[in-house]
């Protein structure tokens, strides 16, 4: 079941749409609390997964199912990934250590989605997240996510952009 947005069908359930602010707010709060930097949401829009971003990114993709279902994608530039992981590990990370960056962003995505799951359970909504799959390419991530439209959210951490996509 999707939501009719004019002539285009958005494949998000009404229940998921009603709870999207929880997904956005928790991503911002979690990143801010772990890094001690200011994180905020700039804008959101309905569109396909965006592969036109400039720079190097790590993505973590997590499917979820239960009372609501879909896909949660965290899209993080490598420099923000390094800052985040250094905060998690409390040690320096080499920006070229891609295995550590991918593992760290996967773990950070687990932390965000665990908090989302807890927040939703307070509204008697039960969901289960699959283990995160991480990628170093936006086009590879789009191949996993597919062509469907979802909610694209532009966020920033200390004026550096990062993104989430929920479909």
Place of tokens 């920033």: 156
pLDDT digits (tens, 9 = 90+) for 83-106: 888 887 888 988 888 899 999 999
Dihedral sign, Cα of residue 34, residue 68, residue 71, residue 132: positive
Sorted by where each begins, the domain ranges of the chain are 3-166
What does the block give as tokens for 159?
């004026």
What does the block give as tokens for 157?
């951490």
| pTM of full prediction above 0.75 | yes
Measured CA to CA, the distance from residue 27 to residue 99 in angstroms comes to: 22
- 3-166 has CATH 3.40.1550.10 classification: yes
pLDDT digits (tens, 9 = 90+) for 11-53: 677 888 888 889 889 988 988 888 888 889 999 999 999 999 9
Mean pLDDT of the chain: 88
Inter-residue contact 79 to 58 (CB < 8 Å):
no
Chain centroid to CA 99: 19
Taking the CA of residue 163 as centre, how many other CA atoms within 13 Å lie in the half-sphere pointing to its CB? 24
Q: Is 103 helix (H, G, I), strand (E, B) or coil?
A: helix
Inter-residue contact 74 to 30 (CB < 8 Å):
no
pLDDT at residue 6, as a whole number? 41
Residue 146: which region, alpha, beta or left (left: phi > 0; alpha: psi -120 to 50)?
A: left
CA distances from 139 to 15, 33, 95 (A): 29, 30, 21
């Amino acid at each position: 079941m999707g939501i009719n947005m004019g002539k285009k069908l958005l494949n998000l359930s009404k229940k998921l749409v009603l709870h999207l602010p929880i997904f956005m707010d928790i991503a911002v709060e979690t990143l801010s609390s772990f890094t001690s930097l200011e994180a905020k949401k700039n804008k959101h829009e309905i569109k396909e997964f965006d592969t036109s971003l400039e720079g190097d990114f790590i993505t973590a993709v997590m499917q979820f199912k239960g009372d609501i279902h879909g896909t949660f994608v965290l899209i993080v530039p490598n420099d923000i990934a390094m800052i985040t992981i250094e905060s998690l590990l409390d040690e320096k990370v080499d920006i070229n250590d891609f295995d550590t960056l991918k593992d760290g962003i996967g773990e950070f995505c687990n932390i965000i989605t665990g908090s989302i799951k807890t927040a939703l359970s307070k509204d008697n909504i039960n969901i289960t997240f699959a283990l995160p799959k991480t990628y170093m390419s936006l086009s590879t991530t789009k191949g996993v996510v597919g062509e469907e439209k979802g909610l694209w959210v532009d966020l920033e951490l200390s004026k550096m952009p990062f993104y989430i996509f929920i479909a």
